[in-house]
A and B are shown apart, each in its own frame.
Chain A
Amino acid sequence: MGFEWLFKYSRSAYERGEWTFANELGVFWWIAAVGLLALSFAFGRRMRGWPLLHRAPVHILQLAAAVVILTLLAAPALEVERLAPGVNTVAMLVDASASMALAAGAGSEPTRLDAAKRLIEEDIRLPAEGEVRTALFHFGNRLHPAASLDALQATGEGSRLVDALTDLAAHYDQGALAAVVVLTDGAQNGGDRTDLEDLAATGVPVHAVALGPVAIADDIELQDVLLPPRVAPNTQVTARLVISHETTAGSVRVRIRDGRSVLAAETVALDPRTPIVTEDIVFASGSAGLKELAVELSAPASDPLPGNNTRSHLLDVAASRYRVLYLEGEPRWEFKFIRRAVAEDDAIDLATWLRTTPRKTYRQGVAGPDQLAEGFPASLEALYDYHLVILGSLPATALDDRQHDWLEAYVAERGGSLLALAGRNALADGGWDVKPLARALPVVLERPAPDAAPAYAALEYAAHPTAAGLASDLIDIGSQSASQGGAAGQSPGAVEYGLTPLEEAWASLPMLADYQRLGPPKLGATVYLEAQGNVRVERGAVIVRGGGARPLLVAQPYGFGRSAVLATASTWRWRMRTPADDPRHSLFWRQLVRHLASAAAPQRRLSVAAQGGALNLRVAWKNARFDPLADATVTARITPPDGAAFETSLPWIGSEGAFGKTVAAIGGSEQMPPGIYRVDVTAQVAGGLGTAETVTRLAQVGTRNLEHFGAARNDALLARIATATGGQVWRPDDLAGLREAIAFTGAGIRERHRLPLWDAPFFYLLLVLLKCAEWSLRRIWGGI
């Protein structure tokens, strides 16, 4: 017995309708109320001898039956609005993207598109012809009218569901679109619109018939690959892979390829209890150039969708160079080996200034006779030209007050990076605790008392990475060996104690030989390495007992820049006390220097992101003093994959707001052809003095096999769409209420109707039930 049989009309009618009575009620209700009171009095007199517990239920049942009869006499009705006949349209929208060629259920037949066609032809009942018109559309990347159902093919290269729905609602701009019935798996892999505001604002309810399985059995999907868009040559790059799976398979092999060259390969465990696995894979960026990397999962043969096991990713290995200035106050072992390690990095231009005598300096790595000719950079612009400044064992008295101010501003305002090393003339021992730079450093500098020993002293201890250090690229000296050898390359001791390759790489380094006491790290500072001397030797293992650790490598953001302190000057031991081919000393310095240098704020910032039909550009430009570039003429030249370049000028927020930046979207609503787009942004300062400067970026649009990703039914999106528009999500096997839902909840042009309820079976059944109950009680209690 259904709702509609019992109450005569559908739930939708009751949800949208208002209760009313056909008869005038004023005098009638007074008479009815008096009648009820009289009846109540009469019943009461007849049951005078009954106990109250018997008399009350019978009395109530009698009154209820009287109320039902009175209600029926009042001619109850529903006031509803429903579609006006003949003027409204219901749009049937069929998803014709490639994912609709996949199986609608667990098996291989029928396809989702076939299922959609069958539902339209056989199961979906719309308001009668003459009451509404129907129109058929299909979509993939774009919305199209469909000539016939039979002609639809699941060949669309993308699914832009929200765009299609919004465009469809906007197409019927006279309010004649009553509802949209969309038959789809809910895939959404592109589009201009990322939210549902525009769609909800049309007021057209969307009824979604959800097709396809919620999960595809045995499928393993490379859901996402997160990579930095630009990296420097010959550095380590971390790719974060997001793998989803519906399998009980134990593992999957992952490879990252550049053409035929395999950059990294790892086996990733798949835990059946965790449907989404995140894995970081490290590989070397290699030489400069644009690389289209293929990230592949070697899934088992049982994987029904091998097309979603590979993603390509554009990696711009840019030959950008970082300029590093190293100021050293005394010739020492550490200086030599830092220079040697950093020199191996082709992306670093290291200029050093070494004080060899109190009056003489020695420059290395300078570009010409003028660079560092006066020792410290001669101007603010010259200092700001560096990405990283390394301060060695240089007393604070070596600089004048203006240079000290510049150094602090270099970090705070220019956004440069600064690394302070230990030494007898460094940090507090060197008098830096009372200089402006002390504010920028990540630790409090505490000068030893005049009669106390210097903070810098010879000590032997282990450098121990903290949890933050292990998670950071800053001190990553082990991932490369891990990617080469993996667990198989680890020592038995490391395997026994469960050390990761990175932990082992640190644990097996020789002891450091000096330490400079630091004050406490500042709020916001991160300790990456600790000096750990509280250790004991047990069966060949150095066991860190915990406690007694002191900060060794600490870093923090400061202003627009970043500062770090390394409280040792004896990392040379990692070079001199290991085999000649041990790369860890070199890796440590290259990683540290590269990481800090690349963290420096760029003078010209351009980011390009492809989204929907547009390239989104964000441009920020500063001059040599790192003041925002004002009153510039900025143009963007876009070169699509077919080479047909075009130019457009960008609005520039200049001197008024002192922003020196802009945000612009370039492109139209058309789907951009997939491929690599080159974007050259050129800025010319107003007045024409100075040459125009250009920054170039590359962006990748589109993904191959796009429709194989996220191919399971997307209930979440469909529910959001239905909720936002006032529609519903329907299962293919339960579409009975769809017709009434459209009739009563549709947008379109509507009329007001009064639906009589006096003949609804509910009232008569209720009356019979009440009287039967009363009769039963009276019979039981002997009063009949």
Chain B
Amino acid sequence: MRLHLAIAFGLAVHLPAVAQETPGRVPTAGSTTEELTTFVPTRIEYESIGGWGEAYYGYDGRVWERWETDFPQAEQNFAKRLNELTSVVANRQPARRKLTHPALGDSPLIFMSDVGYMRLSNAEMQALRNYLENGGFLWVDDFWGDAEWASLERAMAGVLPGRRWRTLPIEHPIFHTVFDIEEMPQIPARDFAGYDTAEPPWVHRFPQGSLETPSIRAYTDDDGRLMAIATHNTDIADGWERESYGEWYFERFSTKSYRLGINVVVYALSH
């Protein structure tokens, strides 16, 4: 009698026997039950170069690593607004993952913040390359000026060599999937929100260059589809995190952050 066989290739999962009522078991491969049926905001945990004020900094009475800027409040608020405003079913509990996490591919969109001092290992670059080439979507946010841009560009050159960033015009569909956005919003950190939309140069890596013009720059695949976007000279996630800072802040900044954030998520899930 011939056995019904299946050969497992690359499956790192253990498959226990299951009850007859269901054809499988709840996932054990690094993703939770909810994560596999909902949109889970996923923050990427990475290493940064430098010491105090560079790889980490103090704020609100604690020490922050660069990767966790605005985390997890920004994602929690954003998930709540996604559920309220859109048909996306978002998980209120965000995930934090290293790029080498085996379940990275279960996240349709990964988010990196404050990448001005980011350093990626070869294994991380390989994992990110696989993720993007398979169809994953990367959003990099909250980095300002020329030096921080150059830092991201160097890191990503190792991930997707040969590809070039290009600035998306306001006519690009990502600005219009749900909300028609006519101007790229510039969202400053809360501490600077009362002055100007651009953050002061001294809080960013030297040489800063111009911090005045926000933009979305993108990597595209061979078919012209977006693989990664970088919202430069703006801190979209701060608009989510600080929505309760004040009514004026919500109306002036958070609404813009949410509009762009919703457009990006819907775009990432539909293109």
Does B23 contact A541, Cβ atoms closer than 8 Å? no
Interface residues of B in 133-164 (CB under 8 A from A): 133-136
**Which residues in A have their C-beta under 8 angstroms from that of B193?**
none
**What separation, in Å, do the CA atoms of A459 and B20 have in the docked complex?**
13
Residue from A331, A497, A510, A576 having most chain B Cβ neighbours under 10 A = A331
User: Cβ of B14 < 8 Å from any Cβ of A?
Assistant: yes
A456 within 8 A of B: yes
* Closest residue on chain A to residue B178 by CB atoms: A356
B8/A541 in contact, CB under 8 A:
yes
Docked complex Cα distance between A742 and B147 (Å): 109
Least Cβ distance of A546 to chain B in Å? 6
Expressed in whole angstroms, the minimum distance between the Cβ of A742 and any Cβ of chain B is 61
Q: Among the listed B33, B34, B36, B178, which residue makes an inter-chain contact with A570, where contact means beta carbons less than 8 Å apart?
A: B36
Q: Which of B2, B13, B31, B177 contacts A356 (CB 8 A)?
A: B177
Assuming A336-B135, A356-B87, A511-B24, is B13 touching A460 (CB within 8 A)?
yes
A576 with B135: CB separation less than 8 A: yes
Partner of B25, one of A364, A460, A547: A460
The reply to whether B108 and A333 contact each other, CB–CB distance below 8 Å, is yes
**A541 neighbours in B (Cβ, 8 Å):** 5-8
Answer whether A540 and B266 are a contact pair too, CB < 8 Å, given A333-B108, A456-B37, A460-B27.
no
Answer whether A462 and B130 are a contact pair too, CB < 8 Å, given A362-B177, A362-B270: no
Chain A residues whose CB sits within 8 angstroms of the CB of B270 once the complex forms: 331, 335-336, 339, 352, 354, 362, 364
- Number of A residues contacting the other chain (C-beta, 8 Å)? 75
Partner of B17, one of A461, A534, A542: A534
B123 close to A (CB within 8 Å): no
Chain A contacts for B106, CB-based, 8 A: 513, 573, 576
B49 at the interface (CB under 8 A from A): no
Residues of A within 8 A of B202 (CB): none
Determine if B39 is an interface residue (Cβ-Cβ < 8 Å): yes
**Interface size grouping (class) on chain B:** 35 or more
14 contacts between A and B (CB under 8 A): A331-B269, A356-B177, A357-B85, A461-B18, A461-B23, A461-B25, A497-B3, A514-B37, A533-B23, A541-B7, A543-B3, A544-B4, A545-B17, A570-B36
Q: State which of A331, A360, A504, A547 has its C-beta within 8 Å of the C-beta of B20.
A: A547
User: Which residues from B are CB-within-8-Å of A510?
Assistant: 10-11
A552 to chain B, nearest CB (A): 8
Cβ contact within 8 Å between B24 and A515:
yes
A611 to chain B, nearest CB (A): 43
Chain A, residue nearest B32 (CB): A458
For B22, give the chain A residue with the smallest CB separation: A459
Contact of A537 among B14, B35, B105, B225 (CB under 8 A): B14
Given A461-B24, A533-B18, A331 contacting B266 (CB threshold 8 A): yes
The answer to whether A357 and B87 have CB atoms under 8 Å apart is yes
* Selected contact of A536 from candidates B9, B17, B33, CB within 8 Å: B17
A654 to chain B, nearest CB (A): 46
Q: Is the CB of B269 within 8 A of A336?
A: yes
Given A355-B87, A357-B86, A458-B36: A534 in contact with B18 (beta carbons within 8 A): yes
In the assembled complex, which residues on chain A have CB atoms less than 8 Å from the CB atom of B8? Answer: 507-508, 537, 540-542
Contact in complex: B29, A460 (CB < 8 Å) = yes
Restricting to A730-765, which residues have a CB under 8 Å from any CB of B? Answer: none
B18 touches A548 (CB 8 A): yes
Is A444 interfacial (CB 8 A cutoff)?
A: no
A424 to B39 Cα, complex, angstroms: 13
Complex Cα distance, B5 from A331, in Å, reads 36
Once bound together, how far apart are the Cα atoms of A550 and B22, in whole Å? 8
| Residues A513 and B31 in contact in the complex (CB < 8 Å), given A460-B26, A575-B135 | yes
Q: Closest CB of chain B to A531's CB: distance in Å?
A: 3
Besides the known contacts A331-B39, A458-B27, A464-B4, 20 further A-B residue pairs in the complex with CB atoms under 8 A apart = A331-B265, A336-B270, A339-B271, A357-B86, A362-B178, A458-B34, A458-B35, A458-B36, A462-B24, A503-B5, A503-B6, A510-B11, A511-B13, A511-B29, A513-B37, A534-B20, A537-B8, A537-B14, A540-B8, A542-B15
Give the nearest-CB partner of A532 in chain B: B23
A149 contacts B by Cβ under 8 Å: no
Interface: A493 (CB within 8 A): yes
A491 to B88, CA, bound (A): 41
Closest A residue, CB atoms, query B109: A333
Q: 1/0 per residue B34-62: CB within 8 Å of A? A: 11110100000000000000000000000
Check B7–A507 contact: CB distance below 8 A.
yes
Question: Which A residues between 653 and 688 are near B, CB-CB below 8 angstroms?
Answer: none
Given A335-B270, A336-B135, A355-B87, answer yes or no on A533-B25 (Cβ-Cβ < 8 Å): yes
Q: Give the CA-CA distance A141 to B253 in the complex, in Å.
A: 87
Render A513-536 as a binary contact track against B, CB cut-off 8 A, 1 for contact. 111010000000000001111111
Q: Which residues of A contact B14 (CB under 8 A)?
A: 537
A330 within 8 A of B: yes
Closest CB in chain B relative to A743 CB, distance in Å = 65
- The answer, among A511, A512, A540, A573, for a CB contact under 8 Å with B105, is A573
Contact at A542–B271, with CB atoms within 8 Å?
no
Interface residues of B (CB under 8 A from A): 2-11, 13-15, 17-20, 22-29, 31, 33-37, 39, 85-89, 105-106, 108, 130-131, 133-136, 177-178, 225, 265-266, 268-271
- Considering the chains assembled together, what is the distance between the CA atoms of A329 and B88 in angstroms? 9
Q: Complex formed: what's the CA distance from A497 to B89 in Å? A: 42
| B87 near A464: Cβ-Cβ < 8 Å | no
Q: How many angstroms from the CA of A103 to the CA of B184 in the assembled complex?
A: 87
- Bound form: Cα–Cα A533–B14 in Å: 11
In contact, B266 and A362 (Cβ under 8 angstroms): yes
Q: With A507-B5, A511-B11, A533-B25 in contact, is A576–B105 under 8 Å at CB?
A: yes
Expressed in whole angstroms, the minimum distance between the Cβ of B115 and any Cβ of chain A is: 23
Q: How far, in Å, is B20 (CB) from chain A's closest CB?
A: 5
Chain B nearest Cβ from A446, distance in angstroms: 13
B7 touches A330 (CB 8 A): no
CA of A362 to CA of B9, assembled, Å? 38
Residues 116-175 (chain A) with a chain B CB within 8 angstroms: none
Q: Which of A340, A424, A499, A573 contacts B5 (CB 8 A)?
A: A499
Q: Is the CB of B133 within 8 A of A535?
A: no
Query: 3 closest Cβ contacts across the A-B interface?
Result: A461-B24, A507-B6, A533-B24
Closest chain B residue, CB of each to CB of A508: B9
A22 at interface by CB-CB < 8 Å: no
Residues of A within 8 A of B88 (CB): 330-332, 356
Contact A493 B23 (CB under 8 A): no
A549 near B: Cβ within 8 Å?
Answer: yes
Contact A497 B7 (CB under 8 A): yes
**CA separation between A456 and B105, bound complex, in Å?**
21
Given contacts A458-B26, A576-B106, contact A508 B34 (CB under 8 A): no
Question: Would you give the shortest CB distance from A452 to chain B, in whole angstroms?
Answer: 12
A462 is contacted by which of B6, B28, B131 (Cβ under 8 Å)?
A: B6
Given contacts A362-B177, A457-B37, A491-B9, contact A531 B87 (CB under 8 A): no
Q: Using CB atoms, name the residue of chain B closest to A394.
A: B87
* Residue of A332, A493, A507 with most partner-chain B CB within 10 A: A332
> Which of A360, A533, A535, A570 contacts B22, CB < 8 Å?
A533
Question: In the complex, what's the smallest C-beta–C-beta distance from B129 to chain A, in angstroms?
Answer: 9
Q: Is A53 an interface residue (CB 8 A)?
A: no
Expressed in whole angstroms, the minimum distance between the Cβ of A376 and any Cβ of chain B is 16
Q: Give the chain B neighbours of A543 by CB distance below 8 A.
A: 3-6
A residues less than 8 Å from B17 (CB atoms):
534, 536, 545
